[in-house]
A and B are shown apart, each in its own frame.
Chain A
């Protein structure tokens, strides 16, 4: 007999449902979304429904988005990565009621909330991972929401999605083989449980103390540069994923944010360069 269940994932004024059938599907959904809520916005109905169900072939699973076949296969990790990416995309697409940034977030050792906004390949996931290895509490590597008028952020708690080249660079900080039971290794990346990266992620609100825009580059010196409020505003606009759903594309709220929170740009090419900058940031925040 196969068990059927559903989880509604609510975040940033948006919701999707994931129906699942069987133990393997339940395990995937729990691994991906057990940190994602539903602590906030529990009255929002789901806009989109996913289904992760056993396929006809042995060990096969099939993933649907509404009635459309999204993926199928035997690899739990690949299906998990696909489901996670697609759910995040849908949550962002319908997000309203505040600013939704493409951003990582952590709570630093001194309990200050740090957000790391950045586009693809900016280095926010690897920097978040490194900071977690140095004692910070990982919250998210993908989405941060600041509700209208708020001075705190909500993080979309999810497994950290480390791309394969970054995994190689981080092996000296983390024993992936030993922790394999709490990771899912997909073809192109590894999903790492938040439990391994701090005391556990939360969607509860965290005061925003600092904004750092990571800028990974392949070679060169590192630098940590304070940004003016206008520079920070521009950079945040570039990381805003729900602008089209907001009045004045979110500009007024972004200006409110940059007047409230200091912002820096951190360029780096190697993790060994980061220790001194972390110390500087912690000093700024004390």
Chain B
């Protein structure tokens, strides 16, 4: 139970590399910058948070120092809004 997975009840709108996640049942919308968008796409139930951090560090070495905090922040946001679950 440590791999984040997207819930299917969010509608995804991608614009210029950023995301808006919209929940049709609530008047609720989440904004994801390009990093948060990448994290969202990695929430498929196959990766732990640590593995996501590691993957993004290797992809964006210039942002190595901030990646861990950004992943933690994004997962907290997704979880708080019920957009992901841990499997």
- Interface of A toward B, CB cutoff 8 Å: 228-231, 233-234, 237, 243-244, 248-249, 251, 255, 258-259
Given A230-B20, A234-B20, A248-B22, does the pair A255, B15 have CB atoms closer than 8 Å?
yes
Question: At the interface, yes or no: B86 with Cβ under 8 Å from chain A?
Answer: no
Q: Evaluate contact between B13 and A255: CB separation under 8 angstroms.
A: yes
Give the bracket for the number of chain B residues in contact with chain A.
10 to 19
- Interface of B toward A, CB cutoff 8 Å: 11, 13, 15-16, 18-20, 22, 24, 27, 29, 31-32
From the candidates B16, B24, B27, name the one contacting A230 in the complex (CB within 8 A).
Answer: B16
Which B residues lie within 8 Å of A243 (CB)?
Answer: 27
Q: In the assembly, what is the distance between CA of A231 and CA of B30, in Å?
A: 10
Which A residues lie within 8 Å of B19 (CB)?
Answer: 230
Q: Evaluate contact between B20 and A259: CB separation under 8 angstroms.
A: no
Given A251-B20, A251-B22, does the pair A228, B27 have CB atoms closer than 8 Å?
no
Least distance between B7 CB and chain A CB atoms (Å): 18
Given A233-B20, A248-B22, does the pair A259, B29 have CB atoms closer than 8 Å?
no
The B interface is mostly helix, strand or loop, or mixed, namely strand
Name the residue among B19, B29, B31 with the largest chain A CB count within 10 angstroms: B29
Known: A234-B29, A251-B11. 5 other contacts (CB 8 A): A230-B20, A234-B31, A248-B24, A251-B29, A255-B13
Q: Evaluate contact between A229 and B27: CB separation under 8 angstroms.
A: no
Least distance between A130 CB and chain B CB atoms (Å): 29
Complex A-B: 15 CB contacts under 8 Å: A228-B18, A229-B15, A229-B16, A229-B18, A230-B32, A233-B13, A233-B20, A233-B31, A237-B29, A249-B22, A249-B24, A251-B13, A251-B20, A255-B15, A258-B15
Q: Evaluate contact between A233 and B15: CB separation under 8 angstroms.
A: yes
Q: In the assembly, what is the distance between CA of A243 and CA of B22, in Å?
A: 13
Least distance between B76 CB and chain A CB atoms (Å): 18
Which A residues lie within 8 Å of B24 (CB)?
Answer: 248-249
